[in-house]
């Protein structure tokens, strides 16, 4: 399992291309994971908060999180 170290500065985030080039992940999963990686480490990653910062509903967010978990991006 890879550990992602993200450099966060005021208005931008530098992250690895590892998850972006993973052909197993959907574009939705890559996008949500990128957003999650850009958030502060003490952020509340609950489903309700993820819904509030996206245009997706609860079912879509759950499906994306399940996909990320299936491929080892979430524990």
CA distances from 75 to 12, 14, 31, 38 (A): 26, 22, 18, 18
Which domain covers residue 32, as residue numbers?
Answer: 7-70
2 pLDDT exceeds 60? no
Segment 23-75, tens digit of pLDDT:
999 999 999 999 999 888 888 989 999 999 999 999 999 999 999 999 999 98
Number of domains forming the structure of the chain: 1
Whether residue 54 is contained in a domain is answered as: yes
CA distances from 17 to 9, 42, 55, 62, 63 (A): 18, 23, 24, 24, 22
At residue 32, the pLDDT reads 96
Whether residue 58 is contained in a domain is answered as: yes
Block residue for tokens 């208005």: 11
pLDDT band at 9; cut points 50, 70, 90: low
Torsion angle (degrees, nearest 10) of CA 25, 27, 31, 36: -20
Whether residue 2 is contained in a domain is answered as: no
This prediction's pTM: 0.82
Block residue for tokens 């850009």: 38
């Amino acid at each position: 399992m890879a550990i992602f170290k993200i450099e966060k500065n005021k208005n931008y985030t530098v992250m690895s291309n590892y998850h972006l080039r993973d052909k197993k992940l959907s574009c939705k999963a890559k996008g949500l994971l990128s957003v999650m990686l850009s958030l502060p480490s003490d952020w509340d990653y609950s489903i309700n908060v993820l819904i509030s910062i996206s245009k997706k509903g609860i079912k879509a967010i759950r499906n994306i999180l399940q996909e990320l978990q299936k491929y080892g991006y979430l524990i």
